[in-house]
Amino acid sequence: MEGQVEKTVQFEKIEQAMNLFGSFDENIRIIEDAFDVKVISRDNDIRVSGSENGVEKASAVIKKLLEIASNGDIITKQNVNYLVELANEEQLGMVKDYLEDYICLTARGKPVKSKTHGQSRYVETISKNVITFGIGPAGTGKTFLAVALAVKSFKSKEVDRIVLTRPAVEAGEKLGFLPGDLQNKVDPYLRPLYDALYELMGPETYLKYLEKGMIEVAPLAYMRGRTLDNSFIILDEAQNTTPEQMKMFLTRIGFGSKAVITGDITQIDLPGDKKSGLKEVMNILKDIKGIEFVYLSEKDVVRHELVQKIIKAYEKYDTQKKHR
């Protein structure tokens, strides 16, 4: 057919091609539909045919996916859709960095790595700055990556302590109505932070350092009046801080410490008459050296692919509502 071209991409092992094609060739079908090409595998070759533009983009995506496969990682539909989107935006070159990112191993020996360019930039920014704000929707790995970097810094003795905190907004920081002792009362609000530490360190190691005071998980109200030296401090769900709480937290940071503040400004649970400390600080501190803001988007969501679609649908709904 006129205007049709063919390009060949080689692979080393049949396992890589099987990983690339996916269950019932579902990964390849995404690529074929996205670029209007035909993809077949013969011997150690993957042949891509179609229009010149489509073949170029499809071949580039396939090469990147084979890189993922060669590292021993399982290729997911999310990997494929993300790379297809980057190829369509002529931004596939950005992928190189995140493919090489490696932070640490989980307690089960699974490597923790950036999965998108946005996540890669987030990890790099945390490494370079004293204070980093990670702002974006649910599922973008803001908290988990920050905890992974905290564990890495702790294990390499860059810091002496990990401090994780978040506001207990739903109870207005007044936890008396909940049953049990103080720890029982705050645990429901801190559960996501515990989960991340359990996965990265294992329950036994986590409890050992907790008992020694080298790991602390506490509600934001307990940070008042303290100075935290040589610590890796994470404030999670920061959109639910008041301006006063945000200022209080930021002024706790001592010598040799690093802080990461994460939040989603589209999910503010504060009462209607209260301002979000995160929204306010985005303007106050935007030009200070040593403090950097990283904005993640639905492209960086690493949960189920439906989560991306849900976020996009809500963004569309909110935009339409503003213009009514």
Q: Mean pLDDT throughout 285-311?
A: 84
Question: What pLDDT is attached to residue 98?
Answer: 55
Residue 127 or 67, more confident: 127
- The set of long-range contacts for 42-49, using a CB threshold of 8 Å and a minimum separation of 24, is 44/10, 44/11, 44/12, 45/8, 45/9, 45/10, 45/11, 46/8, 46/9, 46/10, 46/11, 46/17, 46/20, 47/6, 47/7, 47/8, 48/6, 48/7, 48/8, 48/9, 49/4, 49/5, 49/6, 49/7
Report which secondary-structure segment, H or E, holds 143: helix 142-155
How many Å apart are CA 165 and CA 148, to the nearest integer? 15
Task: Identify any residues that bridge with 322 across adjacent strands, giving them in sequence order.
Answer: none
Q: How many CA atoms lie within 13 A of 100 on its CB side?
A: 6
pLDDT tens-digit readout, 249-268: 999 999 999 999 999 998 88
Q: Mean pLDDT throughout 244-252?
A: 94
Q: Which residue has the tokens 């979000």?
A: 276
133 has a pLDDT exceeding 90 = yes
Six-digit token string for 237:
């769900």
For the ranges 161-175, 191-205, 223-237, 271-285, which has the lowest average pLDDT? 161-175
Q: Mean pLDDT throughout 44-65?
A: 91
176 has a pLDDT exceeding 70 = no
Nearest to 151 by CA among 118, 116, 100, 104: 104
Question: What pLDDT is attached to residue 100?
Answer: 61
**Strand 258-263 relative to strand 231-235: parallel, antiparallel, unpaired?**
parallel
Residue 192 or 38, more confident: 38
What percent of the chain is predicted at pLDDT more than 90?
44
Residue 89 or 305, more confident: 89
Instruction: Decide if 152 contacts 103 (C-beta within 8 A).
Output: yes
If pLDDT is split at 50, 70 and 90, which confidence band does 1 have? very low
If pLDDT is split at 50, 70 and 90, which confidence band does 183 have? low
> Whole-model pTM above 0.85?
no
Question: What pLDDT is attached to residue 146?
Answer: 95
**283 alpha carbon, distance to own chain's centre:** 23
How many Å apart are CA 34 and CA 38, to the nearest integer? 11
pLDDT tens-digit readout, 62-114: 998 888 788 777 787 877 887 888 888 777 776 555 556 678 878 776 778 88
Return the number of other C-beta atoms located less than 10 Å from residue 148's C-beta: 22
Question: What pLDDT is attached to residue 177?
Answer: 47
Instruction: Decide if 233 contacts 165 (C-beta within 8 A).
Output: yes
309 has a pLDDT exceeding 50 = yes
The SS3 call for residue 253 is strand
Question: What pLDDT is attached to residue 193?
Answer: 84
How many Å apart are CA 243 and CA 219, to the nearest integer? 16
Mean residue pLDDT of the chain comes to 85
